[in-house]
Every structure is written in C-alpha cells, then in structure tokens.
Structure 1
Amino acid sequence: MLEALNDFLSGKLLIVLIVGLGGYFTIRSRFVQFRHFAHMFTVFKESLRGQAGQLSSFQALMLSLAGRVGAGNIAGVGIAVTLGGPGAVFWMWVTALVGMASSFFECTLAQVYKRADGDGLYRGGPAYYIQHGLKLKSMAIVFSVLLLVTYGFAFIGLQSYTVTHSLQNAFAFDPSHTGIVLAVLLAVTFIGGIKRIAAVSDLLVPVKTLAYIGVTLYVIGTQIEHVPAMLETIFKSAFGLDPAFGGLLGSAIVMGVKRGVFANEAGLGSAPNVAAVAAVKHPGAQGVVQAFSVFLDTFLICTCTALLILLSGFYTPGFEGDGIVLTQNSLAAVVGDWGRVFVSVALSLFVFTCI
C-alpha cells in the first residue's frame, strides 16, 4: 500500500502538479521566463553588487545553486537515463522550462513578504507568504514542519548516502568515517550562521561547477561528431520513436520529471527561503535570478552529465546499476580510472554545499 501511494504521489500527481502548475504560471505570465531570458544576464551582473551588511543577490544565487546543485545533478541524472532511457533528458528539460516560471513566482513572493530580524538580515519563504499573504498561519506551520522533516532528515540522508557510496566505490572509504567527517565540516560551517554559509558557497559553488563543466565538456569535445546523433536519439526516445527505447516512453516522462524536480527543486519551496535573504531593488529581480539558477542547474550541469553518460560508450540500453556508478564508469571509460576519483570529489563538493 505504501509503495502504491509513493508511486502515485511521486509519479502521476507529481507530473500534474509540477509540470501543470509550471505550465499555468508560464501561460498566465505570458512566458515570463522567455520574455526576460536576456534580462537574466543583466540582472545577474547587477547582482554582484550588494549593500553593506546585507547578502547580495549574487550571494543568494550562490546559496540557491548550492542547494539546487547536488547529488541529483550527477547520480540523479544517471538514474533517469538508466530507468527512462535517453528520452528522460528531454523531459528534464521540459520540467526545467516550466519550472523556471514556478521559481520566478515563488522567489518573487519570498521577497515581497520577507521580514527583517533583529540582526538586520531578512527572513522569508513560503511559510511567510502563506501566513502574511494568504493569512493562513496554520497552513504555514504545517508547511514549515513538512519542509523541516523533508530536508532535515530525508533529503540530507539521501545526499549523504550518495556521497558515502561514491567515495566507497572510488577509494574504498568506510561510509561511517565519511559520514563523521562530513558532519564535522558541516557543523563548523553552520556555526558561523548564514554569512559563513554564504561565504563558503561563494567560494565552492563557482569552483566545483566550472571544474565539473570543464571536464564534461572535454568528454563531449572528444565525441563531438556523435553529438547530433545523440541529440536525435534523445528527442526520438522522448516520444517512443526510437526502436531501442520504444518501451520506455512512460518511464522517460516519469523519470525525467522526477529527476528534473529533484535536481533543480523548482516549485518545491526550498529556494525561496534563500531568495528572501538578498537585498534587492525590486522583488522581481530576485525572481529573475532564481529562474536563471534553474536554467543553469538543468540545461547546463544536468545536460553535461547526461551527454557524458550517453557519449561515453559505457552506457547501453538495459544497463543495471545505480546512477553514481554509471556516471563514474562513463567518465572513466573516456579519461581513465581518475575519472571515478574526479566524479567522487565533485559529488562530495556538490553534496557538501547542497546540505
């Protein structure tokens, strides 16, 4: 019964709510994420400047990317391709496109209804605009409790498991030892409060992201002649038109949406808590920045992982194994054994900043 309920909530209902509401926001806003796409780069440049004593919009973006870019971008994409075939990548893109609209509105609302605390920093998020906007304090409390349980236990547990499993596979590290080291490093960061977390994110997020993208682009470059055919396979299998993946149409849609949501977190209510802390001239500016972070997360990082797997020659239809091992072995098939080490180190940084 629990398995059937989980399949329903994370399958059909998830697709209807996330993609459906994202599509609704897209249409009602007259495709805000496309109309303001070029403006995203201007706002991103302006976000580098902040007010004294306040977190800048750029720092909020780095915090948001730290939360979005985690195990889902490496292991999650591997799982999507394993269970849904190459077509899952297309549905991840669709989820991100409509998710950009969801992220724009949830993060703009976080700015509209944020409140300043005693130390001069802002606090906000879904609980704030549910309480102050909808005037439903009880619902705000329920949302806060569910968010704390989900991210405080299930989400962190999944992220931690992924990195310990990765390091065990690459270095034969004892998972318990990895867990202890991770807990200590996180504790040192958390003690410094939001400003230390922002400082760590400012340093690690650009480094880990650029390094990972650089290595995956190298792999894509070595197989550049196969990219057009692989993109064709992605589009064909997304609609069940590729004979090799014809039976995976339903799985492609479900896995693409599920892993897309897990990777970019658009519409889940986590990013607005970070978006609210930024000092901006207009609430919509932070909405634009956060929509841009969804684009970076899915269309850049997740796509790099997907193409790495599909172009490596290691992946074959019917592959049985977990996502992180698939990604590690795919990179190793192109660059040698150090590829497994690189993926493990990259995943460790992704998970650390994500938690």
Structure 2
Amino acid sequence: MKDFLYFISEILWGSLVTFLLLGTGLWFTIRTGFVQFRYFRQTRENLKKSTIPRPHGITAFQALCTGLASRVGSGNLTGVALAISAGGPGAVFWMWVAALIGMATCFAECALAQVYKVKDEHGRYRGGPAWYIERGLGMRKMGVLLAIFLLLAFGVVFNAVQSSTIANALHQAFSVPRLGCGIAVAVLCGLVITRGMQGVARVAQWLMPLIAVVWIGTGLIVLISHLDKVPYMLTTIVRGAFGWQEAAAGTAGYTLSQALTNGVQRGLFSNEAGMGSTPNAAAAAASWPPHPASQGFVQMAGVLIDTLLICSATAAIILLSGVGDSPNGEENGIILVQQSLSHLTGPWAGQFIAIVVLLFAFTSIIANYAYAENNLVFLRLGSRGKIWLLRLVVLGMVVLGSVSQITLVWPLADVIMALMVCINLIAILMLSPVVRAVTADYLRQRKLGAVPHFDPHRFPEISHYIESDVWESRPPR
C-alpha cells in the first residue's frame, strides 16, 4: 500500500501539480498587477483594522489566525526536515519561491471565498472553494467532490499526521507513551471543537501570535549566534536549488528536479496556498473594509509568516547544525529537528521542540476540524447528529495517528492534497476574471480616497450568483 501511494504521489507531484501550482501563481501575479509586491501596503493597512468586531462573522484577525493555525502545524517542522532530507538544501529556495508566488494564489482564492459567501441558518457567514465552485461556476458536483476530499484530508488524514508528530516528539523528549499522548491531545481538542468555527477562532487569535513569535525568535537567536556560518548556508541553498554543486558529477538535472518538487510540495503543505483550505476561514470573516479583496490582502500575510518566517527558521536550524548531512538525516522529520537544535544549543532543546510541536499541531488540528465542519454543511449534512459524528471521527483519528506509522500517512496526505489542489486551481483559474474585477474595484476606491465597499450591483454579470443580504450596497461610514 505504501509503495502504491508513493507511486501515485510521484506521478501527481512529479510534474502536474508542481507546475500547475507555479503556473497559477504566476498567472494571478500578472493578472492582479503583482498584488503581493506592489500592493502589500494594503495588507498592513487592513491588518490595523482587522480586530474590529462586526456582525455575522469572526473578525479578519481571527480568520488570519485560524488560517495560520491550520498552516502552522507539523509541516513547518517535519515537512521542512523531510524536504531537506529528500531534496537537499535547495528545496528551501523553492519553498520560498512557492510562497512568494503562492501569495497571489492565496489572495485570489480568499477574495473569491468572500464574494460567494453565504449565511447559514444561524446567521453566520460560511463559504470556501465548494461554494465558489457551485455559485461561481454552477458546478455543484465538482464542489461536492472537493468538499469530500477536504473532509478526508482535514478531518481524517492531516489530523493523523499532526497527532503522529506530537506523539513522536513527546515520546522522544519525555518518554511519554504514544497512546496516552494521543488520548490527552484528543481531550484538549474536544474542549475546543465543540464550539465550532467561532470557538476555534477565539483560541487561535490568542495562541497563534505567541507560537509564531516563540519559534521565529528561536530561529533568530540561532542565526545571530552562528552568523559566521550564515553566508555558507545561503550559498548552499542557492547552489542546491539549481544543481550547480552536482553539475560536475552529471546529476544536476535530477537534483534540480528533487529540490523543486520537494520544495514546492512541502511549501504547499505548510502554507496551503492554492490548496483550498484557507478560504474556508476567510469566508467566515466579516472583514473591514467590507470588500472581498480586503480579506485577500489579510490572508496573504499568513503565507508570508508561515513560509518565509516560520519555515525559514526551521530550515536555518537544520542547515546550520549540519545534522541533516549525517546518515541520520533520513530519520523521522521531527527527530531531525530536535537533534539539530540540540546540537546547536544543548540537550534541553529536544524538550523545547516537543512543547513547540504540541502547540503547533494542537492549533492545526482544531483549525482542520473547523474546515471539515464547514464542508460538511456544504454537503447538506450539517445536522447536530452528523456534526457530532464528525467530531468523534476527528478525535478518533487523533488517537489513532499517535500510534500509526507516519511513513504511510505522509504519502496518503500527499495524494489527497494533490487532488484537492488540482480541483481548486482549475476553479480559481476559471474565475480569474472575477478576481481581476474585484481587485480593480478595491484599488480604484482606495485611489479615490474612499473606504472600499463591495456593491454587487456594480458587477451585473455575477450579481445574481451572490447572496443578496451578505453585502450592503451603501458605502460604510
């Protein structure tokens, strides 16, 4: 089974998904006028007002933190370690490229999630890829397929990955029994997920800034204390990215392919740009200014924080330690990170990493549940009994993942993720005229000095697909 999953994953990621992801990012970069570079100031301005509470939805800051909670999981530690082990230091470069290009993709999918969001029976906003596929493209069956993949990925597989990473880290650092660890994490997660998206968002807005600051700060301390090795590390990353070191040995093409594939693959698993997950949180936000593009700008910051800061901190720790160059580099990813930081700072680092992993993976599990519940509602299975069944399945996978082998879970996660990416990217490419029009509308109002607001009547070609009571036609005060 494991060999079959690796075979399918290699086919999907070897060319199709990698180049579709990069191509889509480049398309939206050009289509939106290089939005992640020229207009990043809008992200800063919208973040200043992102904590303002508004009716019917979570705040923009809570949506950002929920998106980060899902992004910032074991992929930021284990995924980076596995990418470096499989693709060499050059994989880090392609992770950076995937993030910079993926910011435009993230902007597009989150703006679309806002355009086509709806109100549920409780008056709360819901939306995401399944909704903009159904309402924007009129293809409900395609939306159902994506929702099923997302349920499997975020409700089942990814939570097993996170739980497995927690169990490995705590067992390595504190000799905690893996099953006991899984049960304890399941209990903690259960206390949060019973409160739905709103409960997850409230926890995420307090935990995520703390976790991000702690890990980025750790990376900065390591960099400062080993400044003499930093130039060599950066040179190794760039040379490895293009296979220059291996050119003389005649293996440059293979090395470049490995670095590119592993860097983009693990970068996506970490920042989730283009996967179709973050839009589920973005759609739940009552953004200020009341315009779909505002949430797109805010969520772009999540990609930047996740990959260019948090993943880079992990990569620096691994590469500066030199542990990844040893025969132990093929070991479980989280053990490699623990060994690397211990080598640089002392034996206490293994226990510190275990606590960091617990926080990372805990927030990721609760955010994953929120996404799964959202898509259960899209499938018209949002009754109280079915939601409780989903919660039991999620918590069961947390327990099961703590005692399962990650060698089987990772390739399964890769296959499901690839299928989700393909469906979502095709959908947002088909809806790219809407993204362009919405972006231009937002920037035009900013240029005029007005507070941007979204009036569906200015877009007659799509106005009848937008829920009428979600957006007010009157300009905000």
> Is 1:282 aligned with 2:291?
yes
Q: Report the aligned-residue RMSD.
A: 1.6
Give how far 1:141 is off.
1.2
Give the counterpart letter for 1:104 in structure 2.
Answer: F
Q: Tell which deviates more after alignment, 200-209 or 314-323.
A: 314-323
The alignment partner of 1:133 has SS state of helix
Q: Deviations over 1:111-157 (max 9, x none)?
A: 00001123221000011111111111111111111110121111111
> Is 1:350 aligned with 2:360?
yes
Give the distance between the partners of 2:83 and 2:345, measured in 1 at CA. 23
Q: Deviations over 1:71-90 (max 9, x none)?
A: 01011101111111110000
Match for 2:88 among 85, 89, 95? 85
Give how far 1:252 is off.
0.8
Give the distance between the partners of 1:273 and 1:349, measured in 2 at CA. 22
Give the distance between the partners of 1:304 and 1:292, measured in 2 at CA. 17
> Is 1:253 aligned with 2:260?
yes
> Is 1:67 aligned with 2:74?
no
> Is 1:264 aligned with 2:271?
yes
Match for 1:109 among 109, 112, 124? 112
Alignment match, 2:7: 4
8 A contact 1:85–1:317 mirrored in 2: no
Match for 1:337 among 347, 353, 361? 347
Alignment match, 1:57: 60
Alignment match, 2:399: none
TM-score (norm 2): 0.72
Give the counterpart letter for 1:347 in structure 2.
Answer: V
Alignment match, 1:210: 213
Alignment match, 1:15: 18
Give how far 1:314 is off.
2.7
8 A contact 2:107–2:297 mirrored in 1: yes
Match for 2:324 among 310, 315, 325? 315
Match for 1:240 among 238, 243, 253? 243
Aligned residues: 355
Give the distance between the partners of 2:161 and 2:277, measured in 1 at CA. 16
Q: Tell which deviates more after alignment, 277-286 or 307-316.
A: 307-316
8 A contact 2:218–2:313 mirrored in 1: no
Give the distance between the partners of 1:29 and 1:254, measured in 2 at CA. 26
Please list, as runs of the form range in 1=range in 2, the aligned pairs for 1:115-126 lying within 5 A after superposition.
Answer: 115-126=118-129
> Is 1:153 aligned with 2:162?
no
> Is 1:97 aligned with 2:107?
no
Give the counterpart letter for 1:260 in structure 2.
Answer: G
Alignment match, 2:30: 27
Q: What 5-or-longer segments of structure 1 have no aligned partner?
A: none
Give the distance between the partners of 2:120 and 2:323, measured in 1 at CA. 52
Give the distance between the partners of 2:324 and 2:143, measured in 1 at CA. 45
The alignment partner of 1:142 has SS state of helix
User: Which structure has the larger Rg over C-alpha atoms?
Assistant: 2
Give how far 1:5 is off.
2.1
Give how far 1:309 is off.
0.9
Structure 1 residues 170, 293: closer, same or farther in 2, change over 3 A? same
Give how far 1:167 is off.
1.0
Give the distance between the partners of 1:19 and 1:239, measured in 2 at CA. 16
Give the distance between the partners of 1:138 and 1:44, measured in 2 at CA. 36
Give the distance between the partners of 1:231 and 1:137, measured in 2 at CA. 47
Match for 1:295 among 296, 301, 304? 304
8 A contact 1:11–1:258 mirrored in 2: no
TM-score (norm 1): 0.96
Q: Deviations over 1:30-82 (max 9, x none)?
A: 21111112221111112122225631100100101001100010111011111
Give the distance between the partners of 2:38 and 2:235, measured in 1 at CA. 27
Q: Deviations over 1:257-288 (max 9, x none)?
A: 11001000110111000000111211001001
Alignment match, 2:334: 324
The alignment partner of 1:315 has SS state of helix
Give how far 1:197 is off.
1.0
Give how far 1:4 is off.
2.4
Give the distance between the partners of 2:124 and 2:184, measured in 1 at CA. 30
8 A contact 2:89–2:319 mirrored in 1: yes
8 A contact 2:55–2:286 mirrored in 1: no
Structure 1 residues 317, 86: closer, same or farther in 2, change over 3 A? farther
Give the distance between the partners of 1:2 and 1:129, measured in 2 at CA. 30
8 A contact 1:127–1:140 mirrored in 2: yes
Q: Deviations over 1:175-233 (max 9, x none)?
A: 11111011111111011222221111111111111111112211111001221221111
The alignment partner of 2:336 has SS state of helix
Give the counterpart letter for 2:305 in structure 1.
Answer: L
Q: Percent identity?
A: 45
Q: Deviations over 1:300-328 (max 9, x none)?
A: 00011101111123332663322111111
Give the counterpart letter for 2:100 in structure 1.
Answer: L
The alignment partner of 2:323 has SS state of coil
Please list, as runs of the form range in 1=range in 2, the aligned pairs for 1:134-213 lying within 5 A after superposition.
Answer: 134-213=137-216
Give the distance between the partners of 1:191 and 1:325, measured in 2 at CA. 32
Structure 1 residues 83, 317: closer, same or farther in 2, change over 3 A? farther
Give the distance between the partners of 1:60 and 1:159, measured in 2 at CA. 21
